Amino acid sequence: MKYIFEIVGVSPVLQFFQHQEKNLKKTQSLGLEYVVTHKCTLDSFIKSVEPVPLKWGWDQDEVVSSVIEFWMNNSDSIHYWKARLGDAGSNNLLVARVADIKALRAEFDSLLG
């Protein structure tokens, strides 16, 4: 199975948790998870994705590899989001998405109707 990891934005802590709670009430697509961290570091993102494979039955090594691959190939994006997180202040989180490619495609298809 192929996984994708990408940073999607900065969010106030409360707003992110309200979003997550709302999504728990809906039927979620299998294989799409949003993770957060207070720091924009490779280690913090690896820690944030560690529980995800257990939840979805994914291969943990492949999920972690997707985070590392993103980190190695997107330095401009990482610097951008690190700066935005710094600008936003300490009551904010950096949000990333990790997904099974097929589930992400299905999510986008459902959004486009």
- Per-residue pLDDT of 66-111, as tens digits, reads 999 999 999 999 999 999 999 999 999 999 999 988 877 777 787 7
Q: Flag whether pLDDT at 15 surpasses 80.
A: yes
Q: Which secondary structure element, helix H or strand E, spans residue 16, and what is its range?
A: helix 13-25
With CA atoms as reference, report the closest residue to 51 among 65, 28, 35: 35
Q: Which residues in 64-94 are b (16+ Cβ under 10 Å) and which e?
A: bebbeebbeeeeeebeebeeebeeeeeebbb
What is the rounded average pLDDT for all residues in the chain? 89
How are strands ordered across the β-sheet holding 92-100? 3-12, 92-100, 32-37
Amino acid at 64: V
Question: In which residue are the tokens 């600008």 written?
Answer: 87
The structure's pTM equals 0.85
The pLDDT assigned to 27 comes to: 44
**CB count in 10 Å sphere of residue 50:** 13
The pLDDT assigned to 106 comes to: 77
